[in-house]
Structure formats: structure tokens, C-alpha cells
Amino acid sequence: MSPRNTQFSRDDIVAAAFQLVREEGWNGFSVQAVAKLINSSTMPIYSQFANVRDLEDAVCLKALDLLKERMLTDLTGDRWIDQGIIYVRFAEEEKFLFRALWDARNVDLSKEMGKRFNEFIAATLADYLLFVGLDELEVRMIRLTRMMFAQKLAYWLNVNSNYLKEKGIPELEEYMRRASMAIYHGFRLQFSAESVSATHFCGKGGKNE
């Protein structure tokens, strides 16, 4: 049977391409594969997208939307802890989409998505209780450190779902909570010590020449 000459929308085509990448990664993606999935010729695809890169970018942006949607899930009642857990779970459960997000096939888009994602997370944590009273730099240091931890853990579990169990750590959720709190309280101790030191120095009449 020849492909149908049905009019396909941009969203229809992106959804099909997204499904292919989600299930098979970029190795399973091609214009021909997308056309086959929607039972069409390649003509409707090229009528909606100037080139293959544009379609790839659309898939990545759809994956980012899914990640952002997942990040709003309430797991434990602690927004910041939940975000760490969800991000790592996404890497483990949506292996191909996670790789598609950050593999820098399009370097400029990858940077833009990273910026959008960071701004999204910052907005969700604007009134986060544990960050109240900290200055902007202190919050940035805490968040950046936890982000680097979560990113590396996500990478390991994306490659090997049994990574934590092989290291003798049975539960991701408890591990993320403890690690996040260690980062938070460790920085808070440093901030407090620096504040006391500065107060003591000023109390003795010291000044920075």
C-alpha cells in the first residue's frame, strides 16, 4: 500500500520523531523512519521543516518540556530534594531522551536549553524555605554544587541502572536527600564561619586596605 497523501501538522511530525528517539535514540531517527511511522512520504515532513536539524531541534525541545513537566511532581514534599530525584530518574527511565537533551548535536540549542532549564528551576525555588535568608551568591553555590552532583549521578545511572546498587546504595531517594542536605548544611556552616570571622575582625577595628 502506498503512503497516504494526508496533510500532517508540524505537531504530528514532531510527535512521531519524538517517539522514535524516545524508543530507539538518534540511531532510530531519520526522515524516512518518521515518514514510515506516520504512513506518509517524506514530502509532508520537508514541507514543515526546512531541514533535518530543525526536526531534531524540535524533538529536543519536546524532551525538555517533558523533563520540566516531570520536575513539578511532588514526591516528598521537599521541592529541591524532589527535583534532584526526578532529574536522575528521568536520566534512568528516559535514557535516549536524556542523551538527546545534552549530547550537543546542536551546540547553540544545547546551551539555550540549559539556560531555559536553569531559569525554570530557579523560578520554582524562588520561595524555597531553606534558601530564605541566604544571599544570591550563597544560593547559587549550593544549587550549583547539587546540580553537578545530580548531573554526574544521572549520567552514571543513564549508562548503568544498577550503578548505585553495585556501590551498596539501595535507594536513590534517600541518597539524594542525604547528599543534598550534606551540601546544604556544609555550605551553611561555611557561611556562618565566614560571618563570625568577619564580625570578629571588624570588632577589632580591622579593615581591608
The residue-averaged pLDDT of 70-85 equals 98
| pTM score | 0.88
User: For residue 33, how far is the Cα from the chain centroid?
Assistant: 27
The residue-averaged pLDDT of 130-142 equals 96
Residue 89 is placed in which grid cell? 530518574
Integer Cα distance of 43 and 133 in angstroms = 57
Provide the Cα torsion 169, 171, 176, 179; round to 10°: -30
Instruction: Give the residue with greater pLDDT, 207 vs 86.
Output: 86
CB atoms within 10 A of CB 2: 6
pLDDT of residue 90: 99
Q: What is the pLDDT of residues 13-36, one digit of tens each?
A: 999 999 999 999 999 999 999 999
Instruction: Give the residue with greater pLDDT, 180 vs 206.
Output: 180
Q: Please, what is the average pLDDT of the chain?
A: 92
pLDDT above 80 for 205:
no
Q: For the chain, where are the alpha helices, taking DSSP H only?
A: 10-24, 31-37, 43-48, 52-70, 79-93, 95-102, 107-124, 136-159, 163-166, 172-203
pLDDT of residue 201: 46
pLDDT of residue 1: 44
